[in-house]
Structure 1
Amino acid sequence: MKCNTSDFLIFEPNRHIKFDLDALETYGFARRETSVVDALTVMAAVDYADRVVRRPAYIWRRDLHIQVPLYEPDRWTDVTVASALDDVLRLLTGDNWTFDFIARPGTPPPKPQEPLDLGSTQTRKVMAYSDGLDSRTVVALEDFSSPGAILRVRVGSSAAHGERRHGRPIPFTGIPYSLKLGRRPVESSARSRGFRFAMFAGIAAYLVDAGQAVVPESGQGIFGPVLTATLQGYPDYRNHPMFTVKVAKLIESVFGHKVEYAFPRMWSTKGETLSALRALNPGSTWEGTRSCWQDARWCSIQGKRLQCGVCAACLLRRQSFHSAGIAEPPRTYAFENLRATSFEGAAPTGFRVTKALNHYAIGAVQQLDHFNIDWLGEELISRHAASVALVTSIPFEEVQARLGDLIDRHAKEWTKFVEAQGETSFIRQWVGGKS
């Protein structure tokens, strides 16, 4: 089916989504509510629409209209739920969304025979846990301060079918569904991933009656993608409190459960977060964590999947390890040598450097370089601080001061990282050779 910005999409659960019953069982507990299955279906439908409709060449916004069959469509057509869903998706994706929720024939998957073993009864928090650097670091910090209080909700691609202990499913260790697009996605911006991760955490909080969902992102990842958005792009709110406060409202309107999305590292750089864990546990390891946004097609060298090393996520990761004084092992990145005098010279032997990848890397460098007070300007920072204060209930003056301080510390870390690559580095050239 060829799609454009005005197409009417029909999401067919039996065709476009595959529920993994083993993984779904890790979301089961003593019940498997129809409301949870419907919520997962809505998440999958959003993911589907986001991937199969390409954005226009010169306009970010798309008009997405999709029909979604649900077991309880009346719940999602309720004005409170519909409004909350619209608020979440408009902010996150920058698109116009219209849903037609219709009755779905049949019955939901059967309930599990017995409740899951939660282990600790002290669970007060949940956290969407991937293979990322922030996830591993922050969950370790949280476990240190409140042992047994946080429950991991796996969202990474390696979660697969879920894990078991003594033959019983371990809670939230599987991804309950996978999409069946039938072809390669045509849109790569993938803002719906933020919706999926936040909703997984919110649903888990509802099922275990936890009052808090922890967002592990550090300050640069929260504010940088919003404040440094390009003219052609759209601010990325996926890890921002302006987004999660709307998700919390949606969770409450659908399930009647209040959950707060907390940001324990909001005012810290990623480098400071790494340093904090290393101070508590000098033996901490980050082996196996991934930050890269690129897929395996671009980052596989001699059969080994590496991280690209030049996207914004990789560069921030490398800056952060540099700031924390931690050396990463060789062959972590495809573009390992940032001291090279040209982008092409940094590429491994035999690697095909495309113009698109070159532009992508330049954009990544600009994103990190422009996250500074001189570039952003105090007026923009002040306006953004007011928006953050509104959704966090932190006094404006405090937000303004802490945001400015965070940006200043990032800029100092970034400058030291760039200088460490040497005066002839291609990165140094891209940022104008400033020191």
Structure 2
Amino acid sequence: MRRFAFIGRMGVLDMAAVSIVQPDAVPVEVQFVNTFSRLDYGIGDALEKLRTLGLCPSETAVDLLILAALINAADTRVSRARNAQNGWTRELDLTVPVSNVALWRSQSDLLERTLRFLTGDHWRIFFRERPPGFGALAQVPTVMALTGFDEVCLFSGGLDSLIGAIDLFDRGRRPLLVSHYWDSETSKAQQALLYQLGKKMAPREVYALRTRLGFDKNHVDTGEIEETQRGRSFLFFALATLAASSLAGTIQVIVPENGLIGLNVPLDPLRLGALSTRTTHPFYMARINELIANLDIPVTLVNPYRHMTKGEMVVACKDLPFLRQVVASSMSCSSPAKARYKRMSPRHCGTCVPCLIRRASLTPSLGIVDPTLYAVPSLNDHTLDTRSAEGEHVRSFQLMVDKLAAAPHLADALVWLPGPLGDAPSELADYVGVFRRGMAEVGGLLKKVKAKPA
């Protein structure tokens, strides 16, 4: 097991000594400024796209995105299998160049606690002043600002974010949609849906900030790779906060995510750590909002669908006919590239947790016949092997559904397993309710499905 110390650098002249707290840690320098004196890894692209909209974010919001990018570098380039204490937990140090060291140092404890909850790793975050010549990174617009954006809305290309955008446009709102991507399938989904939304809203324009953010082995060479990417949502939230900070007034960032996946209650003991993501968990979002407020950025993240199942989101969609037309272009699968093992083109696998929740939400009884292309087209035409990805998650859902059917009161305790829910005690009954209804929704899909070890 090795501890890694990631050090953010800005420019070839940035050679200031950076102390490494743990001497045996492996130092990894990440150069954020490319040979054209431009911020790299998609950050410069995001700033340029905002500038073309006449928008200029705050320097603290730029700091937040650089921090998020360095978190992403550490999260994706350090293998858990090779460096974890217990098969999961890594030790990661970051040194981040920022515009206001005192402000950021005051948030170190909160940041480390938040990241520990999000990824399950031990983080230590250190800050230093940006080097000379990089005091202002936000690009001054050369065109008149586009005014009238009501809010920022995350737009991942998934079904939930599609419904979120449809609902906002139907209410006459004018959101700035924000997307980031790394793989081509996510990018394709975003582009296809933005094109369809653009046609629907014409002559009104649909504005989006889409940026490819991330690191490959040529950017950050540790000789390792990690696919779990538990820290990715921090990058998404930081990009949305960057965009929102460039708008006037106090701005909401809409995070469209159904309540079942937001809570992500572990279906079995193994999922409590390694297989349980906390991307939009209420505790995590509350800590991000606390951090943003402490940084004096007038932005708040809100999930208006946190008490709704995915099926309820579909039924309540403000334009169900349009949703029927475009839903096949959305991408919910956690790993569409897995289809290549079946010698298929990339598509929804059909059996991961997000795919099963999607399948349960797209049924004639809920208003839509599912048009999605799945690698496993039918769950009923053969017995699924629970020792493989094909049947593993199906059986986990079935066992949880049976457990709740036998003892419904268990839901009151189970909703606390992924993390605390004390930030909004008045919403506790709503979280218990959406967990029960969400499990029942998936249980209906799997009622006649057979799954057992091969």
Give the TM-score normalised by the residue count of structure 1.
0.77
Where do 5+ consecutive residues of structure 2 fail to align?
5-23, 35-39, 199-204
Could you say if the C-alpha distance between residues 221 and 30 of structure 1 is closer, same or farther in structure 2, counting changes exceeding 3 Å?
A: closer
Q: Does 1:47 align with 2:47?
A: no
Q: CA deviation at 1:192?
A: 0.7
Say if 1:312 and 1:368, in contact at 8 Å, map to a contact too: no
Task: For 2:92, give the aligned amino acid.
Answer: L
Task: For 2:263, give the aligned amino acid.
Answer: F
In structure 2, what is the equivalent of residue 352 of structure 1? Answer: none
1:137-216 matched pairs, under 5 angstroms: 137-144=163-170, 146-157=171-182, 172-175=208-211, 177-182=213-218, 186-208=225-247, 209-216=249-256
> Equivalent of 1:95, from 116, 121, 124?
121
Give the 3-state SS of the residue equivalent to 2:431 in structure 1. helix
What CA distance in whole angstroms lies between the structure 2 residues aligned with 1:8 and 1:300? Answer: 35
Q: CA deviation at 1:76?
A: 5.8
In structure 1, what is the equivalent of residue 422 of structure 2? Answer: 390
Kindly provide the CA deviation profile for residues 377-409 of structure 1, in whole angstroms up to 9, marking residues without a partner as x.
6356248469765313x52xx522x33332332
Aligned sequence identity (%):
21
> Equivalent of 1:74, from 90, 101, 117?
101
Q: CA deviation at 1:222?
A: 1.2
Task: For 1:26, give the aligned amino acid.
Answer: K
Q: Does 1:305 align with 2:305?
A: no
Where do 5+ consecutive residues of structure 1 fail to align?
345-354
In structure 2, what is the equivalent of residue 217 of structure 1? Answer: 257
Q: Does 1:324 align with 2:360?
A: no
In structure 1, what is the equivalent of residue 428 of structure 2? Answer: 399
Kindly provide the CA deviation profile for residues 81-129 of structure 1, in whole angstroms up to 9, marking residues without a partner as x.
212311221111121101233344342657244256435x1x3322211
Task: For 2:67, give the aligned amino acid.
Answer: V
Q: CA deviation at 1:193?
A: 0.9
Could you say if the C-alpha distance between residues 14 and 406 of structure 1 is closer, same or farther in structure 2, counting changes exceeding 3 Å?
A: closer
In structure 2, what is the equivalent of residue 429 of structure 1? Answer: 451
> Equivalent of 1:62, from 64, 72, 90?
90
Kindly provide the CA deviation profile for residues 197-242 of structure 1, in whole angstroms up to 9, marking residues without a partner as x.
2222223222214432222111211123457563662542211111
1:268-279 matched pairs, under 5 angstroms: 268-277=308-317
Q: CA deviation at 1:430?
A: 3.9
Could you say if the C-alpha distance between residues 22 and 198 of structure 1 is closer, same or farther in structure 2, counting changes exceeding 3 Å?
A: closer
1:14-53 matched pairs, under 5 angstroms: 14=32, 17-19=40-42, 21-28=44-51, 29-31=54-56, 33-53=58-78
Kindly provide the CA deviation profile for residues 44-85 of structure 1, in whole angstroms up to 9, marking residues without a partner as x.
1101111122223844322212333x1426156422x21231
Q: CA deviation at 1:429?
A: 2.9
Say if 1:373 and 1:407, in contact at 8 Å, map to a contact too: no
In structure 2, what is the equivalent of residue 288 of structure 1? Answer: 329
Report which stretch shifted further, 55-64 or 198-207: 55-64
Could you say if the C-alpha distance between residues 297 and 315 of structure 1 is closer, same or farther in structure 2, counting changes exceeding 3 Å?
A: closer
What CA distance in whole angstroms lies between the structure 2 residues aligned with 1:155 and 1:227? Answer: 29
